Amino acid sequence: MSNILKITGLEKTYTSGNKQLTVLQGISFHVEKGQTFSIVGPSGSGKTTLLGLCAGLDAPNAGSVELCGQDLNTLNEDERAQLRNKEVGFIFQNFQLLPTLTALENVSVPLELQGAKDATQKSTDLLEKVGLKDRLHHYPSQLSGGEQQRVALARAFANAPSILFADEPTGNLDTETGEKVIQLLLDLNKENGTTLVIITHDLELANRTQQILQLKGGKIVTNQPTTAF
Ligand code: ADP
């Protein structure tokens, strides 16, 4: 199996004023193509920071991130954005939908910006797949939390990413709705081979992925396969 993500000696320090806070230290691990991978750990342990670095949304102070065969340190911001548009999907805990766009537009507009010709049809199909056929023209404020998260999922699936990063995808959802979202993510992995890297507090969800990395105080405590596989 080849690695789709390879992290080596990653360090991240935030500076505010004359204060420095090191939030990640000596982080090395890899994720194989097609793997389902969870990152767990207490609040403040550096999970969100790590996910942002993996997806090239932020730069480390030291170490390297190789994503889809490319060392992010060697790419400029435009090239990183291109790689993200082509290969990466991202789901945020608080959905981050644009409030002035409908569900359909939240999915189709980014696709149009990337030059897709059939953006509306493709987005309609994706929203149907996540069970929102009758919510296409609703605005985010008219949708429940679970529906908003499913729009965010459709948006993340839209460019058929090789790897999908999800930050607490079920964090704001009730158990039943969270289960639907998890099932959609696992189906995406099964049907399309999309690699999943998921931050979660939910150990039951983590146990349904193939590998669990545990962070504490910015360091890796354990990184091991789950027994479910
Ligand atoms: P987790 O996702 O595990 O809760 P985070 O990566 O969000 O952890 O945060 C790790 C630490 O870094 C926390 O102490 C947090 O306050 C701090 N932190 C996160 N983002 C920033 C930032 N942009 N500037 C300064 N400190 C930050």
Give the type of residue at 78: D
Quote the CA–CA distance of 77 and 18 in Å, as a whole number.
27
Per-residue pLDDT of the chain (229 residues; tens, 9 = 90+): 699 999 999 999 999 899 999 999 999 999 999 999 999 999 999 999 999 999 999 999 999 999 999 999 999 999 999 999 899 999 988 888 999 999 999 999 989 988 888 999 999 999 998 889 999 999 999 999 889 999 999 999 898 899 999 999 888 788 888 888 889 899 999 999 999 999 998 888 899 999 999 999 999 999 999 975 5
Residues 35/195, Cβ–Cβ less than 8 Å: yes
pLDDT at 1 (0 to 100): 63
Residues 104/127, Cβ–Cβ less than 8 Å: yes
- Indicate whether this complex's ipTM tops 0.95: yes
Question: How far does residue 22's CA lie from ligand 1's centre (Å)?
Answer: 9
**How many Cα neighbours within 13 Å face the side chain of 115?**
3
pTM, full prediction: 0.92
Which residue owns the Cα nearest ligand 1 atom 22? 14
Residues 165/51, Cβ–Cβ less than 8 Å: yes
Indicate whether residue 58 lines ligand 1 (CB < 6 A): no
Give the type of residue at 153: L
Which residue owns the Cα nearest ligand 1 atom 24? 14
Residues 64/35, Cβ–Cβ less than 8 Å: no
For residue 109, the 8-state DSSP code is H
Question: How far does residue 131's CA lie from ligand 1's centre (Å)?
Answer: 34
Which of 14, 40, 197, 219 to mutate for ligand 1's pocket (most ligand atoms within 8 Å of CB)? 14
Question: How far does residue 58's CA lie from ligand 1's centre (Å)?
Answer: 13
pLDDT at 114 (0 to 100): 84
